[in-house]
Structure 1
């Protein structure tokens, strides 16, 4: 009798089992999420390689549609043309940009010092500088700065190396990798998986082409505007603005800093004009160019992009800030095609580019059957 009581004392109730099971599931989900986020940099490197390949494959497909050439030869023409164009641009602009970079290297510290002196003469500016000095003293240690520099520098070189060779592999034989992913799905789902992957590829190509066009416009307008205002080193600042525009939200702010410092040395009114110029160009890019680009692809919720940048930036650094938009684009396509269309059965929603690979009427009939 006593043994029965002892065994019942150690028995676990059904409610306790449910609590333990729920807690275990939550812990496993949290650990899996942390593992995915920690290893997400690998996914971003693969995505960057895909974008690298998409750029050249997009040019090759355009050449193939205009000329009676094969896939391999069109890709050869595309890569050769791009390399030749960049070589010409470097030959023409490098001497001037190089001299301007040397001047910029000398003038920026002077401009920053003069800007600080002018700011210190105002009460608000003095308070801002004091706060910045406190922050700087906390984190400015020689050993930490040296370690951070070398780790970020060599880490960046390793990332570029990986992206470059991944891009070459994806560019030369994209079907091998796409078909390999499709084969991971059951036979009944392979056709749909192929459609989703093709739609994602189309979306990334359209976004990349649109982004490059946006960068070109921003760079030209910035260079012309700074030249009209009489700001020195306008060409270099315009190229910098074009390149940094690839980073959404934060890019325009970063590109403004050197132009603002140089303008501030000429006078407060010049600094104000530069801020107005950059704000106007950013407004044009956000309200005219970007909506025009998104009209031909999917629409990006700006809040979702900013959230993705913050999350990816925390776990993956600069790479996450740069590639937040294509990550959001892939998520949106997956949600619309896999969840809303396949699971919920709602084919009324529009996914840009899907109609090139999917007959929605046929898919809807399959779902009803």
Structure 2
């Protein structure tokens, strides 16, 4: 036996215990990181599935309606609805590229001068000077890492949904969901014990109805916002009104943050013609946002589901941290799904309170 070990019998044991504990901590840390990584990847996949579902639901609803009206088979009706929808989108894309394609190019060309002009106006006020000294500059709101959204207004839809690969996955899944919705619905129901399968089917149907209604209402709001923005900008004499209105309508899909993103380029370009016009543009966008938030949204939601604005904002902040722009865009339907689950499975089934309607 080593004399040192004889004099210090617990020295080797203490080191061994320390190494074991350090190894356990390291293993647990690596495991936690792996689990978080898998959960993050799974969450991204779930968002893609949700986006595909939001596309499939109206397609399937249109196919069902056409099938009932004409007596055609659902497959034929779905094919017709899908072709008509694709033709409509292509037609709208062609019309927009033909009518406002030049305006989008002008926006790209004028963006640097608009930013410089905005900084010049900021320097004229103490608060603006403080912002610039603290490196809070307009271009930081227009640039995000490798993606410059103002330079890619023509690709705002693909930017909202994510990369081109994600768009492909979403459309691919949407086609399958729309073609055979009962297959996937039944697959989820079969995961529930027999005693709860009827209720599970009711919950899934209600979620589908809620999402479909919310989406149609959102598309209506986006259309109204785009039209009002175009009319208002034309009346104010703002150049490139078509491109700015298109962007405002599309970005309205993202509640809370969308209107702010839509406002920024309009104010920047209005500043090129003077601060008074920029103030008018600010008032215009504020008025349109007031109409959308206090008239259009409540009018739609009272027939579908009431979504607390604070809850939607909290969900956007949480989901946006993990999934970026896609999370911000899909936070509202996530809240809608959660509310349906809570009301039906907890309030109605557990608490036995049937007074709460979905």
Length-normalised TM-score, structure 1: 0.80
Matched, 1:77 2:80: yes
Aligned partner (choices 151, 162, 171) of residue 164 of structure 1: 171
Aligned partner (choices 254, 258, 271) of residue 251 of structure 1: 258
Residues 31 and 296 of structure 1: CA distance in aligned 2, closer, same or farther (over 3 Å)? farther
Q: How does 1:136-215 map to 2 (within 5 A)?
A: 145=145, 156-215=163-222
3-state SS of 2:259 partner = helix
How many Å apart are 1:32 and its aligned residue?
7.5
How many Å apart are 1:168 and its aligned residue?
1.0
Deviation track 1:277-327 (CA, whole Å, cap 9, x = no partner) reads 001000000111001101111100111101100000111111110000100
Aligned partner (choices 283, 290, 294) of residue 283 of structure 1: 290
Q: 2:345: which partner in 1?
A: 338
Q: 1:110: which partner in 2?
A: 113
Q: Is the 8 A contact 1:226 1:234 kept in 2?
A: yes
Q: Is the 8 A contact 2:343 2:356 kept in 1?
A: yes
Residues 338 and 34 of structure 1: CA distance in aligned 2, closer, same or farther (over 3 Å)? farther
Matched residues, number: 317
Q: 2:316: which partner in 1?
A: 309
Residues 38 and 222 of structure 1: CA distance in aligned 2, closer, same or farther (over 3 Å)? same
- Counterparts of 2:292 and 2:68, CA distance in 1: 30
- Counterparts of 1:93 and 1:128, CA distance in 2: 37
Q: 1:323: which partner in 2?
A: 330
Q: Is the 8 A contact 1:114 1:265 kept in 2?
A: yes
Aligned partner (choices 337, 349, 356) of residue 349 of structure 1: 356
- Counterparts of 2:99 and 2:175, CA distance in 1: 31
Residues 204 and 222 of structure 1: CA distance in aligned 2, closer, same or farther (over 3 Å)? same
Q: Is the 8 A contact 1:38 1:315 kept in 2?
A: no
Q: How does 1:18-29 map to 2 (within 5 A)?
A: none
- Counterparts of 1:135 and 1:68, CA distance in 2: 57
Q: 2:21: which partner in 1?
A: none
- Counterparts of 1:159 and 1:73, CA distance in 2: 28
Q: 1:54: which partner in 2?
A: 57
CA RMSD of aligned residues (A): 2.8
3-state SS of 1:343 partner = coil
- Counterparts of 2:147 and 2:124, CA distance in 1: 36
Matched, 1:130 2:133: yes
Q: Is the 8 A contact 2:271 2:278 kept in 1?
A: yes
3-state SS of 1:317 partner = helix
Aligned partner (choices 27, 44, 53) of residue 41 of structure 1: 44
Q: 1:263: which partner in 2?
A: 270
How many Å apart are 1:188 and its aligned residue?
1.2
- Counterparts of 1:134 and 1:74, CA distance in 2: 52
3-state SS of 1:293 partner = helix
How many Å apart are 1:86 and its aligned residue?
2.0
Q: 1:364: which partner in 2?
A: none
Deviation larger for 89-98 or 209-218? 89-98
Q: Is the 8 A contact 2:251 2:261 kept in 1?
A: yes
Q: Is the 8 A contact 1:263 1:271 kept in 2?
A: yes
Residues 30 and 341 of structure 1: CA distance in aligned 2, closer, same or farther (over 3 Å)? farther
Q: 2:244: which partner in 1?
A: 237
- Counterparts of 1:88 and 1:126, CA distance in 2: 47
How many Å apart are 1:78 and its aligned residue?
1.1
Q: 2:123: which partner in 1?
A: 120
3-state SS of 1:205 partner = helix
How many Å apart are 1:61 and its aligned residue?
2.7
- Counterparts of 1:148 and 1:90, CA distance in 2: 21
